[in-house]
Amino acid sequence: MSQEPMTYSLFLFLFLSHGVSSYTVPNSRQDLHPLLQKMAEEIIDGSYLNALLDLIQFQSSHVWMDDLSHRVLAYLNSRNVAFTISSLQAAVENHLEQRLHQPQKLLEDLRKTDAQQFHTAMKCLLEDKKDRLDLKDIIIDLGEIRERALQSPGVNRSLFLITLERCFQVLNSLECVEILGKVLRESSGSFLQPDITERLPRDLREDAFKNLSAVFKDLYDKTSAHSQRALYSWMSGILQTSSNATDDSVSWVTAENLWILGRYMVHLSFEEIMKISPIEIGLFISYDNATKQLDTVYDITPELAQAFLERISSSNFNMRNTSTIHRLGLLVCFYDDLELLDATVAQVLLHQMIKCSHLRGFQAGVQKLKAELLDIATENQTLNETLGSLSDAVVGLTYSQLESLSPEAVHGAISTLSQVSGWAKSQVIILSAKYLAHEKVLSFYNVSQMGALLAGVSTQAFCSMNCKDLSQVLRSAISQYLSDLSPAQQQGILSKMVEAGDTASGIVEIQGAFFKEVSLFDLRRQPGFNSTVLKDKELGRSQALFLYELLLKTTRRPEELLSAGQLVKGVTCSHIDAMSTDFFLAHFQDFQNNFALLSPYQVNCLAWKYWEVSRLSMPPFLLAALPARYLASVPASQCVPFLISLGKSWLDSLVLDSHKKTSVLRKVQQCLDNSIADEYTVDIMGNLLCHLPAAIIDRGISPRAWATALHGLRDCPDLNPKQKAAVRLKLLGQYGLPQHWTAETTKDLGPFLVLFSGDELSSIATKFPEILLQAASKIARTLPPKEFLWAVFGSVRNSSDKIPSSDPMPGCHGVAAPSSDDIFKLAEANACWALEDLRCMEEDTFIRTVELLGAVQGFSRPQLMTLKEKAIQVWDMPSYWREHHIASLGRIALALNESELEQLNLSSIDTVAFLTQQTEWSPRQAESILQGFLDDSGYNIQDLKSFHLVGLGATLCAINITEIPLIKISEFRVVVARIGTLLCSTHVLAEFKRKAEVVFGDPTEWTSPVLQELGTIAAGLTKAELRMLDKDLMPYFQPSAIKCLPDEIFKELSAEQIASLGPENAAAVTHAQRRRLSPLQLQSLQQALDGAKTHSWQDAPASAGPTRTSSSRSPAGAPLSWDLWLGCPLLVLMAKFLW
Q: What are phi and psi of 756, to 5 degrees?
A: -100, 155
Predicted confidence (pLDDT) at residue 611 exceeds the cutoff of 80: yes
In the predicted structure, residue 506 carries a pLDDT above the cut 80: no
Task: Give the integer Cα–Cα distance in Å for 265 and 384.
Answer: 42
State how far the alpha carbon of 238 is from the alpha carbons of 209, 233, 257, 986, in Å.
9, 9, 10, 73
Assign residue 821 a region: left if phi > 0, alpha if psi is -120 to 50, beta otherwise? alpha
Are 787 and 872 within one domain?
A: no
Q: Give the long-range contacts of residues 646-649, CB within 8 A, separation 24 or more.
A: 646/620, 646/621, 646/686, 646/688, 647/153, 647/684, 647/685, 647/686, 647/687, 647/688, 647/689, 648/2, 648/621, 648/686, 648/687, 649/595, 649/621, 649/687
**Residue 1011 shares a structural domain with residue 1071:** yes
How far is CA 298 from its chain centroid?
A: 21
- Region 182-192: mean pLDDT is 83
**786 in the same domain as 808:** no
- Using DSSP's 3-state secondary structure scheme, residue 424 falls into coil
Q: Give yes or no: residues 788 and 839 share one domain.
A: no
981 Cα distance to chain centroid: 24
Pair 142, 4 in one domain:
yes
Question: Which pLDDT score is estimated for 87?
Answer: 66
Contact at 8 Å (CB) between 484 and 451? no
CA distance 327 to 313: 13
880-905 as b/e, with b when 16 or more CB fall inside 10 Å? ebbbbbbbbbbbbbbbbeeebbbebb
* H helix count then E strand count, the chain: 71, 2
Distance CA 985, CA 836 (A): 39
Residue 462 lies in a domain: yes
| 60 domain-assigned | yes
Mean pLDDT of the chain: 87
Do 413 and 513 belong to one domain? Answer: yes
Buried b (16+ CB within 10 A) or exposed e, 182-198: bbbebbeebbbbbebbe
Provide the 3-class DSSP secondary structure of residue 774. Answer: helix
What is the C-alpha separation between 1040 and 1017, in angstroms, rounded?
A: 10
Residue 451 lies in a domain: yes
252 band by pLDDT with thresholds 50, 70 and 90: very high
pLDDT at 664: 94
Number of domains into which the chain is organized: 5
Note whether residue 1018 is domain-resident. yes
Domain identity same for 773 and 749 = yes
In a domain, 705, yes or no: no
pLDDT at 453 over 80: yes
Q: Are 995 and 964 in contact (CB under 8 A)?
A: yes
Helix boundaries (H) for 440-466: 444-448, 459-463
Mean pLDDT is lowest, of 26-40, 505-519, 538-552, for 26-40
In the chain, % of residues over pLDDT 90 = 67
Q: What global pTM score does this model have?
A: 0.88
Pair 576, 609: CB distance under 8 Å: yes
- Residue 980 and residue 1015 in contact, taking contact as beta carbons nearer than 8 Å: yes
Whole-angstrom Cα distance, residue 679 to residue 1087?
38
Distance in angstroms (rounded) separating the CA atoms of residues 889 and 380: 34
Please check whether residue 170 lies inside any domain of the structure: no
In a domain, 177, yes or no: no
Q: Which domain holds residue 40?
A: 1-152
Instruction: Note whether 744 and 804 are same-domain residues.
Output: no
Look at residues 518, 546, 573 and tell me which one is the last residue of a structural domain.
518
Q: Are 961 and 987 in contact (CB under 8 A)?
A: yes
| Contact call for residues 995 and 969 (beta carbons, < 8 A) | yes
Among residues 873, 895, 917, the one where a domain terminates is: 895
Rg from Cα positions in the chain: 34
Looking at residues 568-590, what average pLDDT do you find?
Answer: 95
Whether residue 15 is found in the same domain as residue 118: yes
Q: Are 113 and 53 contacting, i.e. CB atoms less than 8 angstroms apart?
A: yes
Counting every residue, how long is the chain?
1139
Tens digits of residue pLDDT in 1078-1106: 999 999 999 999 999 875 444 433 333 33
Residue 135 has pLDDT above 80, yes or no: no
- For residues 850 and 736, what is the distance between their CA atoms, to the nearest angstrom? 41
What was the pLDDT predicted at 816?
84
Q: What residues contact residue 943 under an 8 Å CB cut-off, 6+ apart?
A: none
**Quick check: 953 pLDDT over 70?**
yes
pLDDT value at residue 19:
38
Q: Are residues 785 and 858 in the same domain?
A: no
Q: Are residues 1 and 148 in the same domain?
A: yes
Residues 1005 and 1058 in one domain: yes
Express each pLDDT in 820-856 by its tens digit.
999 999 999 999 999 999 999 999 999 999 999 999 9
Task: Answer yes or no: are the C-beta atoms of 847 and 818 closer than 8 Å.
Answer: no
Lowest mean pLDDT segment, chosen from 76-90, 275-289, 769-783, 1022-1036: 76-90
Residues 674-684 as b/e (b if ≥16 CB within 10 A, e otherwise) read eebebbbbbbb
- Give the residue-averaged pLDDT of 1121-1125: 40
Report pLDDT digits (tens) over 58-90: 888 888 777 777 787 788 888 888 766 556 656
Q: 140 - beta bridge partners?
A: 133
Task: Give exposure, 812-845, as e/b (b: 16+ Cβ within 10 Å).
Answer: beebbbbbbbbbbbbbbbbbbbeeebbbbbbeeb
Vertex 888: Cα angle to 885 and 892 (nearest 5) = 100
> Running DSSP on this structure, what letter comes out for residue 133?
E
pLDDT recorded at residue 131: 67
| Mean pLDDT within 340-362 | 92
Contact 568, 562 (CB under 8 A): yes
User: Of 756, 772, 798, which residue sits at a domain end?
Assistant: 798
Please compute the mean of the pLDDT values over residues 962-978 and round it to a whole number.
Answer: 97
Q: Per 3-state DSSP, what percentage of the chain is helix, strand, and coil (rounded to 5)?
A: 70, 0, 30
**CA dihedral sign of residues 465, 471, 472, 478:** positive
- pLDDT band of residue 1119 (cuts 50, 70, 90) is very low
Least confident among 337-346, 926-935, 948-957: 337-346
Does 683 reside within a domain? no
Distance CA 706, CA 702 (A): 6
